[in-house]
Amino acid sequence: MAHRWTGQLTRQDVTPEAAWLNRRQIIGAGLGGLALAGLGQGARAAEGGDALEPNSWDEITSYNNYYEFGTGKEDPKRNADQLTIEPWSVKIDGLVDRPGDYAFDEILSNMTLEERIYRFRCVEAWSMVVPWTGFELADLLELAGVQSSAKYVAFETVLRPDEMPGTRYNVLDWPYVEGLRLDEAMHPLTIMATGIYDRDIPKQNGAPLRLVVPWKYGFKSIKSIVRISLTDSEPPTAWNKANPREYGFYSNVNPEVDHPRWSQATEREIGGGLFSKRKPTLMFNGYGEEVASLYAGMDLQKNF
């Protein structure tokens, strides 16, 4: 099994559950068509502020961003229930010793589930702290047997136009795909998440299995994964294909490399209060001590 990682964040650092689930509602004004500026009421109790009043279940589940179910903020609530997640399997192929279709239950039976409390930084310049439940991706890759010629890991989201009405439109080149370098994928910080707040991940948030790479922008954490392929060449990624000028392959959190349409130097903390100041964005989202060595000698302006 892979090395177990122990972080410094605690439950007191976690973004309030209502703010996490309802983040699209409490973000108000937009920048370049992307919601950035507004913040929800209240502050984290751990920082001495008033606790957030929980939103209703309808509010919590009405605003989400999962384009396969539509681009409107209420579309995931209206449409995600159509997604069938049982049974579920993940095809693992390419440069592995034991390729095949791995049933979700089989995967879980071979993994060590644990809680990881991570910072989460969106490319839209907002942030939060999330308690994930999951297992290290390295353990799953070791289960399949990584061959010595493998250099990259490619991921693919389920594509079911009959269940995912958003895929009937050319918002992106479906299916949604992502990729990591093998050393990034095998890093102990990289996990496959199955739960949030001690519950199964809701369908609109990527059930039943999604990637979480905490030092990269959130769109790298691909949802509802059905295929993992080991390759010897850099795989295509959905947002990079859509706009390579704005979304690089690496997409590491980097306050020194701005998005072409806004600064990445600061961020808004969800749950931080309506008039809270923007806080500085940390290099690698604060995980530089653990991951900076992966990029030693690289030009992070060019390899953004």
Closest Cα partner for 212 from 22, 1, 7?
Answer: 7
277 is in an annotated binding site: no
73 is in an annotated binding site: no
221 is in an annotated binding site: yes
Q: Which amino acid, 116?
A: R
Distances (CA, A) of 50 to 16, 45, 53: 11, 6, 9
Strand-pair partners of 157? 225
157 is in an annotated binding site: yes
Alpha-helix runs per DSSP H in the chain: 17-21, 23-26, 57-62, 75-79, 104-109, 137-144, 182-185, 238-242, 288-291
254 is in an annotated binding site: no
201 is in an annotated binding site: no
Q: Assess contact for 232 and 95: CB atoms under 8 A.
A: yes
Q: Assess contact for 119 and 132: CB atoms under 8 A.
A: no
210 is in an annotated binding site: yes
**Residue 58, Cβ neighbours under 10 Å: how many?**
9
10 is in an annotated binding site: no
How far apart CA 210 and CA 225 sit, in angstroms, is: 6
How far apart CA 92 and CA 104 sit, in angstroms, is: 12
79 is in an annotated binding site: no
Closest Cα partner for 117 from 133, 136, 135, 131?
Answer: 131
122 is in an annotated binding site: yes
3 state SS of 11: helix
3 state SS of 83: coil
Q: Which tokens sit at 219?
A: 């769109």
Binding residues for Mo-molybdopterin: 64, 67-68, 122, 157, 205, 210, 221-223
Binding residues: 64, 67-68, 122, 157, 205, 210, 221-223
